[in-house]
Structure 1
């Protein structure tokens, strides 16, 4: 079959994807472009003079904690500060792009819709081509909007273009990673897990290379990471346009690999063969909890390991913050307005643990949506055809959706507290404080999981919209204070109501309210699931 025959119908599938994502696609493009553009005015108020910019650079540009949170600062200018403060957003964009490509490729196959389309005049490679074209094109639009928005804020043209392309670079690479992952695995869940593993490895390489500052012995590690490349374009500094060349080569290589792998596998199957199970089932699988453990254990182990590593990194760099503002009253005030406090080490730990909490909520949502995956893959109906009741089956998965993040957060808190305690020469005193700061995130994490439960029970077709709640919390928590948003908007995130531990005051009121919200949403989901049809596909 020729290349042209393989791609027949690509245009129609592009229109179908745009029709299905007519709300979601513009939403994430608009939000990811709005944040840096809106942040220019707010940052200009905080660091309005060159002296303040230099003071900011002398601290955040060399301190391990800020290098871990935001990445390197390559230029002492307003644009350079913005580029550093938005250092986490390429990671967010990479995640969105990988998941979007997988959703429009492997998920379509797993649900059986790919077979129906394949029975029409649709080429074998058209589905993959359409998904990649849409996502790659969306990244190009995002880069253009960011560049124009930054130029409109009177920032240099070259730096603004490089800044927009730094976002697109991460999105392009991980859209291609998602395309390859969709060919390697047999299920959408495994494809997402593989893409997340690659993204996590890229992020850890970026952290390891940048924590010591520019020129340290491990800085070459950041050069191995596509996330590191997004930083090393050096927007608003001495732009390194040549980085786009290896990035383009990598994207082209991954896209080519995705198409070659797609041509060599059967529809509905993956290149990697599924692992054969034992000839007879384990006695544990006779119960719903054992079956849920079999389905959820991979997520639990991988997320716990990832959050533990992040806890080790964040716990290892937090102590260095205490020296960076010593004797510098002006910078203390600037960092306080950016979200700091009198106890700068505690404030840094609280911010880092908040990030870990947000990441744990992504795990909680993914564990909850495993129920929806079981339903759409038609594996739920045979289970419910036995003596297993709906509530019993759903409760077995809720154990992992609620207790799984608890285990992951506990591991991360213990890791961060132990390393921070070693640095402070006070393990016994610091470990409980940091551990409490991690565990206090649980009510907000459970709230997002409960949103997914309610949507699964009432409106299963849009259960994936629970990721929008995660995105809102991420947006409000990461840049809400920087953009000086109204407190009413910030209160939309459950994380806003949590005490900032270690160092903050603790009251029972937010825990009671969030617990009530969780109970109500979970109850709504359980009642809705009992009353609706199964399956809803």
Structure 2
């Protein structure tokens, strides 16, 4: 029997299980670059306006740290830089997809069950990598086609698409290697995300320093250096191909050396006796969620520092652009444009906070699927207490993330405007304004889990729809009733002089109602529910 026996069947199984999630993130990430290009064509139609934008904003150190370097002032170059952060999202999605179909399957015991049939030892890893590689390639091709359709040159478009695909392939292979090192899915995800964070940090340091050699050490730094639309350097594409091959060459031997279900690295043992902080369901929930809250807060705190530092430059980037100057006049001049920029970026943080809330809510499903919830609930622990212990973090976690993001944004923006006392509370409040909408999606996740755990991942699809409507609604000129389906559409712009808190109260009430219904239905169903 070959070590790859059964790979084709596992590929079909992965495609069947990811038939909704995989197309969503591929399509959303493929369409966004096209919308950026159309925006630049609309708002910066002349060469002088694009040059002014490139000088005022595109080369701002905070923007460069977040998005990457800018190599020209053409629409293509501006689009490639604007889509720079999408590389991080593509890398993260690819990494998590591979971990979910390798280490998570082993941890749940399903890979051992399949291994009792005619299945080669390398089939599982190969199937996960093949599906993710194919998704990344499709994403790259669709991105390139969309950019060409937007009016950009074909060579630069396909250079950008290939760079995006290869970035995803590198981190998909990182996920495959991380799955061999640890014996838990959480450990594999943590290892992979740590590598991604280190790569992003190296790219930030290299792009903002005098010498850019640290960026050449980062897989996230190679894609910008292809210089799409500005004299493409095709040879740079060899770097991610080589590194992905090296990671794969390390992952496959490790998958044979270790026992099924075990990792190459020994697990870190805990204390022999539990401390008082672990007493009761809330103590256990705190132990399970505290790491996520910490790292999400650190990550978005750093992001807030960068966004706040770039806000002032956004207000100066429209000099000589009559169309944007008219928009600025309506929203309060350069300060108004800075506020609009900050409101939009904090809106992105709201989407991310909703993702955290869904992830925290779905931890209940993971505990039930792993068989840990049933013996716990067989004790004197009440169902309501166990459910609420996780719901608290699904609601509290997004609040912490948004407050930290708002405070960090207000800190750097307040320092740049010499008005820290005013901007710090304003930005914290603007961050919290995104919270009720994030709570609505977390409430949906709790409701779906209470009704039927298998339906709970649909909450991720709803979040993807919200992101799609927010990013593409105006570009595609969708009807307002369709845009209103997203709770984020109803979030008021609190940085403006006048706004109504009514939508915030209504969203909060809706989130609590959804959570209450989820709690009620959870009491009425069996555990576990297949």
TM score, norm. by length of structure 1: 0.91
**In structure 1, C-alpha distance between the alignment counterparts of 2:205 and 2:487, rounded to whole Å:** 31
* Structure 1 residue 500: Cα displacement: 2.5
Out of 274, 288, 298, the residue aligned to residue 267 of structure 2 is 274
Contact 1:346 1:501 in 2 (8 A): no
Q: How does 1:31-46 map to 2 (within 5 A)?
A: 31-37=28-34, 40-41=37-38, 43-46=40-43
Out of 29, 47, 50, the residue aligned to residue 50 of structure 1 is 47
Q: 2:296 aligned with 1:299, yes or no?
A: no
Partner of 1:451: 444
Partner of 1:28: 25
Greater CA deviation, 296-305 or 407-416?
Answer: 407-416
Distance 1:421 1:189, change over 3 A: same
* Structure 1 residue 247: Cα displacement: 1.0
* Structure 1 residue 392: Cα displacement: 0.9
Partner of 2:237: 244
Partner of 2:434: 441
Contact 1:319 1:424 in 2 (8 A): yes
Contact 1:65 1:320 in 2 (8 A): no
Partner of 2:252: 259
* Structure 1 residue 227: Cα displacement: 2.4
* Structure 1 residue 134: Cα displacement: 0.9
Greater CA deviation, 504-513 or 62-71?
Answer: 62-71
Greater CA deviation, 480-489 or 228-237?
Answer: 480-489
**SS of corresponding position for 1:6:** coil
Q: 2:173 aligned with 1:176, yes or no?
A: yes
RMSD value over aligned CA atoms?
Answer: 2.7
Q: 2:93 aligned with 1:96, yes or no?
A: yes
- Per-residue CA deviations over 1:76-112 (Å, capped at 9, x if unaligned) read 3332333233223222222221111111111111211
Greater CA deviation, 218-227 or 183-192?
Answer: 218-227
**In structure 2, C-alpha distance between the alignment counterparts of 1:421 and 1:451, rounded to whole Å:** 36
Partner of 1:523: 516
Partner of 2:312: 319
Q: 2:73 aligned with 1:76, yes or no?
A: yes
Q: What are the ranges of 5 or more consecutive residues in structure 2 without an aligned counterpart? A: none
Greater CA deviation, 287-296 or 471-480?
Answer: 471-480
Distance 1:417 1:293, change over 3 A: same
Partner of 1:186: 183
Q: 2:203 aligned with 1:206, yes or no?
A: yes
Q: How does 1:260-409 map to 2 (within 5 A)?
A: 260-326=253-319, 329-333=322-326, 343-409=336-402
Contact 2:43 2:323 in 1 (8 A): no
* Structure 1 residue 327: Cα displacement: 6.3
- Per-residue CA deviations over 1:344-375 (Å, capped at 9, x if unaligned) read 22222222222222222222222111111111
**In structure 1, C-alpha distance between the alignment counterparts of 2:361 and 2:304, rounded to whole Å:** 24
Distance 1:307 1:27, change over 3 A: closer
Q: 2:3 aligned with 1:10, yes or no?
A: no
Q: 2:126 aligned with 1:133, yes or no?
A: no
Partner of 2:110: 113
Distance 1:402 1:521, change over 3 A: same
How many residues align? The count is 530
**In structure 1, C-alpha distance between the alignment counterparts of 2:249 and 2:414, rounded to whole Å:** 48
**In structure 2, C-alpha distance between the alignment counterparts of 1:97 and 1:268, rounded to whole Å:** 22
Distance 1:433 1:138, change over 3 A: same
**SS of corresponding position for 1:228:** helix
**In structure 2, C-alpha distance between the alignment counterparts of 1:504 and 1:128, rounded to whole Å:** 55
Greater CA deviation, 484-493 or 326-335?
Answer: 326-335
TM score, norm. by length of structure 2: 0.92
Distance 1:15 1:327, change over 3 A: closer
* Structure 1 residue 114: Cα displacement: 0.4
Contact 2:52 2:318 in 1 (8 A): no
Contact 1:102 1:188 in 2 (8 A): yes
**In structure 2, C-alpha distance between the alignment counterparts of 1:256 and 1:170, rounded to whole Å:** 17
Distance 1:304 1:346, change over 3 A: same
**In structure 2, C-alpha distance between the alignment counterparts of 1:65 and 1:480, rounded to whole Å:** 28
Contact 1:65 1:321 in 2 (8 A): no
Distance 1:154 1:292, change over 3 A: closer
Greater CA deviation, 483-492 or 416-425?
Answer: 483-492
* Structure 1 residue 126: Cα displacement: 0.7
Contact 1:338 1:481 in 2 (8 A): no
Contact 2:52 2:319 in 1 (8 A): no
Partner of 1:143: 140
**In structure 2, C-alpha distance between the alignment counterparts of 1:338 and 1:120, rounded to whole Å:** 65
Contact 1:173 1:251 in 2 (8 A): yes
